[in-house]
Amino acid sequence: MRIVLGVGGGIAAYKVASLLRLFTEAGHNVTVIPTEASTRFVGTATWEALSGNPVSNSVFDDVHQVNHVRLGHEADLVVVAPATADLLAKAATGQAGDLLTNTLLMAHGPVLFAPAMHTEMWQHAATRANVETLRGRGAAVLEPATGRLTGADSGPGRLPEPEAIFAAAMALVEGRQDFQLPLAGRTITISAGGTREPLDPVRFLGNRSSGKQGVALAVAARNAGANVRLLAAHMEVPPPAGVEVVQVETALQLREAALAAAADSDVVIMSAAVADFRPAEVSDTKIKKRDDRTDPVITLVRNPDILLELVELRNSTVRGEGHQLIVGFAAETGDSDGDVLAHAEAKLQRKGCDLLVVNHVGTDKVFGQDTTSVVILARSGSEPQEASGTKTEVSAAIISRIAFELNAVSPRA
């Protein structure tokens, strides 16, 4: 496929280098057209090296090839990222002052704008009107991500992660109406991995959680356009790019991080394996073997139930239930008191979360494996939903269920 990648003059231009890589690695032929302003952020040499094609932003280069006509005509897809307020305005009013705006006017195929700007500029009536005009003409304008912007400000206006723009672009080319990222503008906090509860400076009580499930969820949420915060307890896999990582070790640290993160999260997913107990005392020095040969005794105390506290916190706020979706995980085996689903159903009611993702342990080992099989239970009482496959596939199913629930309860503004 021939892709024209227009790069606007915003600080997020550096992220577009990764987007270009995703396109070229998928086998597409990409011509980059940076605006004059954008070359102050990323130079044309970078685009030439990464795309393997000559780069120009002037209609007066290679005039004999009539680039301003040819590039637009030949492109199967035009992507503009970051689409600044200025570029959206120029595109909406049909200006043709440089090679990129000329190309936009000549484009025959789908056009995708991935905006990035300060929140006030994004929300300004002028920008809103330009976006509506472009959408009205059939162009696809993504919702920007929410989060930290260049200065001290934060809000909607961040460039969606390269993988998310890539996913939207491919959906658009396939003619799918749902190219719009389902979690754009949403903030999702995901806890992952296993907590470690120290006994002394060298020893801890831990568990076998690898963090793979939580990381796969973070990737799926990021690719769906969400602003993702990963609360990472001990993990065997590295955190993915494009997510904010908060490192924690113990259940108490995770609790603190989760309660703080919940304040501005649309969704909290507790996929971490949290130790239910911790040693009552943590020795400052290494516990030594004793001369009298008596065995040390470790006394354990209960850790707080973070999931339960998150639900209580959410329900006690002014906005109450409905403004935040809380998702728990449960690893269950059936026993004489009931089967897996009966136990899971009881846990869902006990914890009060909105969705509970249930792993049936025993039949297949979940910890550290790449494949899994889950049932998603909803407190609303809808039918249990099954999902199985790789942790990536299962995570995509969980995230699309979350997006569905979220958009049903609180449609995007």
CB of 361 to ligand CTP, least distance (A): 10
Closer to ligand CTP at the Cβ: 90 or 234? 234
CB of 347 to ligand CTP, least distance (A): 6
How far is Cα 234 from Cα 250, in angstroms, rounded to an integer?
9
Q: Among this protein's residues, is 102 annotated catalytic? A: no
Length of the chain in residues, anyone?
A: 413
CB of 113 to ligand CTP, least distance (A): 38
Among 23, 122, 166, 329, contact with ligand CTP (rule: CB under 6 A) = 329
Closer to ligand CTP at the Cβ: 165 or 269? 269
| Binding to ligand CTP in span 216-275, by CB under 6 A | 251, 270, 272, 274
Is 307 an interacting residue with respect to ligand CTP (CB under 6 A)? yes
Question: To which H or E segment does residue 197 belong?
Answer: strand 197-198
Interface stretch with ligand CTP, choices 172-180, 235-243, 289-297, 323-331 (CB under 6 A)? 323-331
Residue 16's nearest CA partner among 93, 100, 90 is 100
Q: Which two tokens stand for residue 360?
A: 């049936």
Among 330, 358, 377, 406, contact with ligand CTP (rule: CB under 6 A) = 330
Please give the C-alpha separations between residue 75 and each of 84, 237, 309, in angstroms, as whole numbers.
Answer: 21, 39, 52
Closer to ligand CTP at the Cβ: 227 or 303? 303
Question: To which H or E segment does residue 187 belong?
Answer: strand 187-192
CB of 92 to ligand CTP, least distance (A): 46
Q: Which long-range contacts (CB under 8 A, 24 or more apart) does 385-393 make?
A: 391/212, 391/213, 391/216, 392/216, 392/219, 392/220
From the list 207, 223, 303, 359, the catalytic residue is 207
How far is Cα 30 from Cα 3, in angstroms, rounded to an integer?
5
Q: Which two tokens stand for residue 377?
A: 């239970």
Interface stretch with ligand CTP, choices 209-217, 315-323, 326-334, 364-372 (CB under 6 A)? 326-334
Closer to ligand CTP at the Cβ: 187 or 303? 303
Please give the C-alpha separations between residue 331 and each of 79, 184, 221, 334, in angstroms, as whole numbers.
Answer: 43, 30, 22, 10
Among 306, 311, 348, 375, contact with ligand CTP (rule: CB under 6 A) = 306
CB of 413 to ligand CTP, least distance (A): 29
CB of 255 to ligand CTP, least distance (A): 8
CB of 310 to ligand CTP, least distance (A): 7
Among 303, 324, 372, 395, contact with ligand CTP (rule: CB under 6 A) = 303
Question: To which H or E segment does residue 306 belong?
Answer: helix 306-316
The amino acid present at 13, given as its one-letter code, is A
Kindly report the CA angle at 241 between 235 and 243, in degrees rounded to 5?
A: 80
Interface stretch with ligand CTP, choices 10-18, 101-109, 217-225, 299-307 (CB under 6 A)? 299-307
Burial 74-98 (b: 16+ CB within 10 A, else e): bbebbbbbbbbbbbbebbbeeeeeb
How far is Cα 76 from Cα 66, in angstroms, rounded to an integer?
18
Closer to ligand CTP at the Cβ: 88 or 330? 330
Closer to ligand CTP at the Cβ: 295 or 337? 337
Phi, psi values for residue 6, rounded to 5°: -90, 130
Among 252, 331, 361, 409, contact with ligand CTP (rule: CB under 6 A) = 331
Closer to ligand CTP at the Cβ: 76 or 276? 276
Q: Which two tokens stand for residue 170?
A: 């491919």
**Exposed / middle / buried, residue 250 (Cβ in 10 Å: 0-12, 13-18, 19+):** buried
**Site string (85-104) toward ligand CTP, x via CB under 6 A:** --------------------
| Binding to ligand CTP in span 165-194, by CB under 6 A | none
Interface positions with ligand CTP (CB under 6 A): 251, 270, 272, 274, 276, 303, 305-307, 328-331
Catalytic residues: 207
